[in-house]
Chains A and B, each alone.
Chain A
Amino acid sequence: MNIEFYTITLWMTVIWPLLLSIPSLHSRFPWPRHLAIIPAVGLTAIPADVSFNIPWLLYGTGFAIDENVRWILGAVVVIWFAAATISSPSKEKVSSNYSTTLYLLTLTGSLGVLLTTDLVGFFSFSTLMGYGFYGLLIQDGTKALQRAGRLYLYFLIVADIALFEALLLVAFTTEHFQYDMARQTMSDISSSPVYLYMVLIGFALKAAIWPFYFWLTAAFNSSSRAIALLLIAGPITMSLLGLLRWLPIRDDIYILGLIVQLLGAAAILHSALNFFTSGIFKQSKNRFNTAWLIISFTGLLSLALGAALQNPTLWQQYSYIVYPVISIFSLSLSLLILTTVKTHSEPESVDNTPTLIINIFHKLKKWLHLTQQLAGDLKLKTVTLWDRTGSFVIKQYQHVSSGQKITFLVTDWKTNIILFLILGLVLTWLAI
C-alpha cells in the first residue's frame, strides 16, 4: 500500500504541475504556483527510495528518488515555494495566467530533470525547463531582460545541440540510457573523449560555468528576486546535477582533468578579485555579487571535477558529498537573494572587471595599439555597463569621463578570459 502511494506521489510530482500549467485549469485554483509543489513536498517526506519505469514513454524512461536526489529535491522545493510566494504576477489576469503557465512548465522541467532516471528523459525535461525559463526571464519585457534572455537563449540552443550530439554518441554505443549504465559504457570506449567534450561544453553553457558566465550576470542583475531564485533552483542546480549524471569518470583523461581544473581556478580567481576590488562588504546587498558567488561556486565544482577526472578512485569515494553541497549552496544563495533589497532599476552589467586588472591590461593593450574605432566602441559599452551597479561603478564612470580614456581597453570579456586563464594556469601549475 505504502509503495503504491509513494509511486503515485512520485508520478504526480511531475505530472501535476504539467497539468496545472494549462491556463484554463490553473486559473480555477487559488495559489496554483503553491499547489503545484505539493506532491514534491510530499515526496521529500517519503522515507523510502521509490522508482518506476515507463517503457512506452520515449525510449523507455523512468522516475526515481533516492537519498542523493532527496537532498536536492528538498532544496529545490523550498526555493520554488519561496519564489511562488514572493512572485507577484501582473494585475492583468491574462498575462498573469501566461506567467503562471511558464512558471509551472519550468517547474515541471526542473522536477523532471531531477527525478528522471535516464539521459533521454533528462534531456527532454531539461529542454522544457530551459525554454520555460527563457519565457519567465523575458516576460517583463524590459530591455535589459530582453538582452539577458537573448544571451541565455543563444547559450541554451548551443548547449542543447552539444548535448544532443553527446546523446547520439551514447545511442551509437549502447541501447541503455540509464545514468549508471551510460556512464559506465562511455567510460570504456574510444569515442568517449568527444562525448566528454560535448557534455562539458553543454553543461558549462547551461550552468554558466566560467568562461560562459555572461548570461548569468546579465540575467541575475536584471531580473526580479523570484526569477533570480528560479535561476538557482532551475538552470544552475539542474545543470550541475546533469554534469554529475552525464559525465563518465575515467582514468585516461588526465589532461582534460587539468583543463577543467584550470577553468575552475580561473573562475575562482576572477570572482575573488572581483569581490575584493569592488568591495564585497560594501555591496553585500547587491545581486551583482551573488552572481559572482555562483560563478565561484561552479569554479569550485570544476576544481573538484577536474580532480575527479585525474583520480577516479578518489571521486568514487567522495562524490556523494556533492549532492548535499549543491543543496546547501542553493539554499544559502536563495537566502542571500531573499534578504537583498529588490533591484529597482535595470542594471545592464555584462562585464565587471576590477580596477587592478584594468590597470595591468591598460599597459598591455596600449602596447598592442588597438584601433581607435574598436577602442571607441568598447569605451561606450563600458560606460553603460559600469553605470548601473552602485557607488563603486559611478566612481568608475567619473574616472572615464575625466578624460582618462584608458579604462575602456580592459573591459572586454575576451581580455578577461585570457587573463584569468593565464592566472589559472599558473595556479594549477603551482598546485601540481
Chain B
Amino acid sequence: MNWNDWVPLLVVISSLLPGLIIFGLAEDKVRARVMLNLFGALAKLALVSLMLWGVYQGYHYETRLPLLPNLDLVLRAGPLALLFVSLSTILWLVTTVYAIGYLENSPHRSRFFGFFSLCVTATVGVALAGNLITFLLFYELLTLATYPLIVHRGTEEARQAGKTYLRYTISGGALLLIGTVWLYSITGTLEFTPKGFLSNIGEQHYPALISIFALLITGLGVKAALVPLHGWLPLAMIAPAPVSALLHAVAVVKAGAFGIIRVVYDVFGVEFSAGLGVLTPLAWVAAFTIIYGSVRALFQDDLKRRLAYSTISQVSYIALGVAIAGPIATIGGVVHLVHQGLMKITLFFCAGNLAETLGIHKISEMNGVGRRMPWTMAAFTIGAFGMIGAPPIAGFISKWYLGLGALNAEQSWVIFVLAGSSLLNAAYFLPILHRAWFMPLPESWPNEHHFGNKETAWALLLPPLVTAAMALAAGLLVTLPFSPLEWAKLISVREFYQP
C-alpha cells in the first residue's frame, strides 16, 4: 500500500483517536481536551484538503481492508464522497469551536466531546464508504454515537427523546441490513459503482429489486426524516445546540440523505432506477415531505422545533433532486446537501446563542432581539433568507437547479412544489425576523447573561458568522472551481455523461 491508500483511513482516524483519548480525560483537563479537539479537526481538514487537491489532479485514494470473505471494508474518495466529507470536516471544526464555548462550565464534557468525535468519525466513514457494507457499519456507529449526545442533558424529556430516536433509527438500520443482505444474495457484490451495479441483472429479479429499493430507502428515510418516518427529529431537538446543529446540518439527517443518493446513483444507477419505476414514488414522498414539514413548521412557537420541521422539509429537496432523475436536478439535489448544511447550522448556532445568552427558546420571546444581539441575528437573517431561496444566498442556487432540473426532466409539477415551499418558508421565517428586528424590546429577557460589552461569548458568536458568510459565499461565488456547485456538476457529469 502506498501513501494514497492510507489517506482515507487517516481521515477517519483523525477524529476517532482524539475522541478515544478524550473519553479518558478528567473533567478538569480543559486545555488538553480543547487542544485534542482542535488538533483532530485541523488534522482532518488538512487531510481532506490534500485529497481534494489530489482528486482534482486525478489521483486515486482508496483504503481496502479485509472484513469478511469477499467483503472488504472500503474507504474511497470519489467526488461525491469528497463533497460530503468536506462539508463534515469544515462544519465539525466550526461546531467544535462552538461546542467549546457552549459547554463551558457544564458537566460531563469529556463524555460529550468523546461521543462528539465518534459521531464525526462515523459521518466521515459514511461519506467515504466504498461499498454498502462499509456504509452500513458506519451508519450504525452513527446511531450509537449520537444517542448519548441526544440524552446528554439527562432530563426525562431528553431520555424519552433518546428512546424514540433509538427506536426509529435501529428499526431503520434493521431494514437497511435486510435490504443489504438480500441484495448481496442476488448480486454477490456491494461495491459502489458509478451508474450502479445492477444493470446486468436478469429481469426475473426485478420484483425483488423493487422490494430491496423500498427496504433501503425506508431504512435511510428514517434518518433523512422522510414523512412518515420523521417522528424522532422534532423530539431530538432537546439536545444541546451544538448537537442539534450537527444532527441537522452534517451528521444524522445528512447521512440518510447521502445514503439515498448512494443507493440511487451507485447501487441501482439513475437510469436503472427510473426503468424500475421506483423514482416516481420517491419524488412524491419527497414532495409531500417538503410541504408537510413547512406546514408543520408554521405552527411551532419553539424556535428549535420550528427549525427541526424546517429541516424535515429542506432535506427532502435532496431526495427530490435525486428522484427527478436528470442531470440538472442531480446538481440541485447534491449541492443542497452542502447548502442546507451551511444555512441550517447557522440557524441552530443562532438559536443556541439566544438560549445561552438571553434564555430565549420561543419565537414569542424574540421581540427586539435583533437590537440586543445584532450580529447573531444578522447571521440568522442570512440563514433564513437562504432557506427561503432569496438570492444571492446558497439556497437560491439549490432551488434554481432543482427547478431547472424539473423543467429539463419535463416534471413541471415540481416547480409548484418549490414555489409552495418558498411561500411557506417565507411564512415561517419572516415573522421571526420581523419580531427580532422591528418589534420593541421587552423590559427584560427570560434569563440574561452578560459578556462585557459583547453581545455574547466570542466562541458562540464566531461560528454562526463564519457559516453565514460561507452560505453567502456559496451563492455569490458559485462559479469558482472549488465551489459546491462545481463539485455537484462533476458528480452529475460522472453519473449521466461518462461512459
Interface string of B342-382 (1 = CB under 8 A from A): 00000000000000000000000000001100100000000
List of A residues within 8 angstroms of B423 by Cβ:
157-158, 161
Judge whether A120 is part of the interface by a CB distance below 8 angstroms. Answer: yes
In this complex, what residue of A is CB-closest to B402? A168
Judge whether B437 is part of the interface by a CB distance below 8 angstroms. Answer: yes
Judge whether B479 is part of the interface by a CB distance below 8 angstroms. Answer: yes
List of B residues within 8 angstroms of A165 by Cβ:
403, 415, 419
Q: Which of A270-320 contact B (CB under 8 A)?
A: none
Most buried by B among A60, A95, A131, A138: A131
In this complex, what residue of A is CB-closest to B415? A165
In this complex, what residue of B is CB-closest to A58? B392
Give the dominant DSSP class at B's interface.
helix
Decide if A153 touches B430 in the complex (CB within 8 Å).
yes
Decide if A161 touches B419 in the complex (CB within 8 Å).
yes
Judge whether A123 is part of the interface by a CB distance below 8 angstroms. Answer: yes
In this complex, what residue of A is CB-closest to B416? A165
Cα(A15)–Cα(B148), bound, Å: 48
Contact (A161, B404) CB under 8 Å given A56-B480, A141-B440: no
Judge whether B214 is part of the interface by a CB distance below 8 angstroms. Answer: no
Cα(A131)–Cα(B388), bound, Å: 13
Judge whether A86 is part of the interface by a CB distance below 8 angstroms. Answer: no
Q: Shortest Cβ distance from A292 into chain B, in angstroms? A: 29
Q: Which of A54-88 contact B (CB under 8 A)?
A: 55-60
Q: Shortest Cβ distance from A146 into chain B, in angstroms? A: 8
List of A residues within 8 angstroms of B490 by Cβ:
none
List of A residues within 8 angstroms of B389 by Cβ:
164
Judge whether B422 is part of the interface by a CB distance below 8 angstroms. Answer: yes
Judge whether A127 is part of the interface by a CB distance below 8 angstroms. Answer: yes
Judge whether A248 is part of the interface by a CB distance below 8 angstroms. Answer: no
Decide if B415 touches A98 in the complex (CB within 8 Å).
no
List of B residues within 8 angstroms of A59 by Cβ:
478-479
Cα(A169)–Cα(B480), bound, Å: 24
Judge whether A94 is part of the interface by a CB distance below 8 angstroms. Answer: yes
Judge whether A172 is part of the interface by a CB distance below 8 angstroms. Answer: yes
Q: Shortest Cβ distance from B321 into chain A, in angstroms? A: 15
Most buried by A among B391, B419, B477: B391
Q: Select one of B370, B390, B408, B430 contacting A172, CB under 8 A.
A: B408
Judge whether A23 is part of the interface by a CB distance below 8 angstroms. Answer: yes
Cα(A56)–Cα(B483), bound, Å: 11
Interface string of A170-206 (1 = CB under 8 A from B): 0110000000000000000000000000000000000
Q: Select one of A57, A139, A141 contacting B477, CB under 8 A.
A: A57
Q: Shortest Cβ distance from A168 into chain B, in angstroms? A: 5
Judge whether B299 is part of the interface by a CB distance below 8 angstroms. Answer: no
Decide if B477 touches A56 in the complex (CB within 8 Å).
yes
Decide if B438 touches A55 in the complex (CB within 8 Å).
no
Q: Select one of A120, A158, A172 contacting B391, CB under 8 A.
A: A120
In this complex, what residue of A is CB-closest to B391? A124
Decide if B419 touches A60 in the complex (CB within 8 Å).
no
Cα(A165)–Cα(B399), bound, Å: 11
Cα(A57)–Cα(B370), bound, Å: 29
Cα(A112)–Cα(B480), bound, Å: 22
Contact (A123, B415) CB under 8 Å given A55-B479, A161-B422, A168-B407: no
Interface string of A43-57 (1 = CB under 8 A from B): 000000000000111
Decide if B374 touches A23 in the complex (CB within 8 Å).
yes
Decide if B479 touches A56 in the complex (CB within 8 Å).
yes
Interface string of B390-414 (1 = CB under 8 A from A): 1110000001100110011000000
List of A residues within 8 angstroms of B477 by Cβ:
56-57
Judge whether A211 is part of the interface by a CB distance below 8 angstroms. Answer: no
Cα(A55)–Cα(B478), bound, Å: 10
Interface string of A9-35 (1 = CB under 8 A from B): 000000000000001000000000000
Other than the given A56-B479, A56-B480, A59-B478, 13 more pairs (CB < 8 A) read: A23-B374, A57-B476, A124-B392, A139-B438, A157-B426, A161-B422, A161-B423, A165-B415, A165-B419, A168-B400, A168-B403, A169-B407, A172-B407
B residues contacting A by CB (< 8 A) are 370-371, 374, 385, 389-392, 399-400, 403-404, 407-408, 415, 419, 422-423, 426, 430, 434, 437-440, 475-480
Q: List 5 A-B contacts (CB under 8 A).
A: A58-B479, A60-B479, A123-B391, A157-B426, A165-B419
**What are the 4 A-B residue pairs with the smallest beta carbon separation, nearest first?**
A124-B391, A168-B403, A172-B407, A124-B392
